[in-house]
Amino acid sequence: MIRSSICTPTHFSFVSDLGEVKSSESFWRDCCLYSQKLRLVKENLDGQSTLTAVLFDSTPYSFGYKLFALLINEFEVVLPNNSQPCTLQDAASHADIVCGNALGDMARSKVWVDGLPDSELNRMSDNIDWPLCGSVVFSTSGSTGKSKQIRKSWQSLQLELDTLLTTFDMSSVKTFISTVPHYHIYGLLFRLLLPMKLGAQIYPTKEYPEHIVPLVKTAGKQHCILISSPAFLKRLCNDNVLSVSADRFCHIFSSGGKLEQDTATKLYAQMRFSICEIYGSTESGGIAHRKQTNGPDALWTLFRGMSISAKAETQQLVLRSPYLNFQPLAMDDKVALHASGQFKLLGRIDRTVKVEEKRVNLSDLERTLEAHAWVQSCKVILLEGKRTTLAAVVVLKQEKPAYESKRRLNQALRQHLASKFELICIPKKWRYVEEFPINNQGKTTAAALEKLFE
């Protein structure tokens, strides 16, 4: 039996899609067994100073105990930002070992820890504690459009976790429900580590509002927290099946993009409940929070320990944060500062956009399309409307490509992008032109490109 130390949280549990409940005791036991596998692997990799592991597991429970075991055994843990084959293969190619149920195909060239036998493991083993140190590497799109790795120390993640625990009253919460994955920094902190610290029950990711209704009913009189995103909340307000259970929610969090005022206002009218938005990035961690009700855009309030300034010429936000040892970090957002210490966001300064909370760089999409044999050049734009959509304008090469119709051409280019980008990040609308439209200054403007889709 695993003996938990004082610093090791207990009483949390994980619920599977089939309703199976895994207790904290099971979590620490499986963490211990996985840790033994890692120790055996390290013996065979002896002599290497820093060992790197790629981890991608689709279930929060398995992901959690494998992450903790890796940190305890001093591996640097790399978390791919999606399960696309190209993404996983690229991450695995730079790692010493691979871990998780999505990486079995990499086993031929790497040590796949999950595939190692359990027969030699000691099931009556040592104490297992909450990790105290280590580093986690997240992947995100940088301002250049190329995939960017963000290394976060485990200590900084714990500091942010402590800030969240002291900022928001969550002491009465026993149920955490999420619509976001656990392998991005927002999901890792809010839908995995927070409920573990609070001794709450953690449910699998739910995509649709109607799937959340029975979970709220199961919780009974206990308060719930919903960890969500603007895209989900926008769909929710169109047919709010959770409004009758509004009093069961202690908090509804939203992050990954801006929650539009119209959505926030509708949800407040339906539920008499304010959504709590979190502003930040993978690199910066959480910076500020706010609640919108039925007024104009609410100002953002900084988390404890944060300080910001704005560059005079560009209004670019510059952050100093305890998570970054107070080193200045220039963000990709413009900001207006207020005397109260609060601030208003004024928009982004680069070509990285978010579509349903998936961050994608338009320049990266264009470069990838232009690598296709049929494409001479292209422009990708974001079309705003009832639903935010990516659209591509493409100039084909003079040689007639081997396609029978525009539909087949669309399919071929979409398939070309699918090896690198998730489905939501692939353009939905396509136009093929002999040359890009230009204005009287010889420039191609976003407005001119948008007209092609009217």
Distance between CA atoms of 279 and 285, rounded to whole angstroms?
Answer: 9
At 266, which amino acid appears?
Answer: K
Distance between CA atoms of 183 and 79, rounded to whole angstroms?
Answer: 6
Whether the full predicted model's pTM is greater than 0.75, yes or no, is: yes
Distance between CA atoms of 327 and 142, rounded to whole angstroms?
Answer: 19
Sheet holding 343-348, edge to edge: 307-310, 316-320, 329-337, 343-348
Angle in degrees, 0-180, between the axes of helices 60-72 and 24-44, rounded to the nearest 10: 50
Sketch the domain layout of the chain as residue ranges: 13-277, 352-451
Tens digit of pLDDT at every position of the chain (454 positions) = 333 333 567 789 999 999 999 999 999 999 999 999 999 898 888 767 789 999 999 999 999 999 999 999 999 999 998 888 888 888 888 899 999 988 777 666 688 999 888 766 666 556 788 999 999 999 875 444 456 899 999 999 999 999 999 999 998 899 999 999 999 999 999 999 999 999 999 999 998 999 999 999 888 788 999 999 988 898 899 899 999 999 999 999 999 888 888 889 999 999 998 999 999 999 999 999 999 886 777 899 999 999 999 998 889 999 999 999 999 999 989 899 999 999 999 887 877 888 887 888 888 899 899 999 889 889 999 988 778 889 999 988 866 666 668 888 899 999 999 988 999 999 999 999 988 887 544 567 788 899 999 8
CATH number of 352-451: 3.30.300.30
Distance between CA atoms of 328 and 308, rounded to whole angstroms?
Answer: 9
Q: Do domains 13-277 and 352-451 have the same CATH topology?
A: no
- Domain covering 13-277, topology: Rossmann fold (3.40.50)
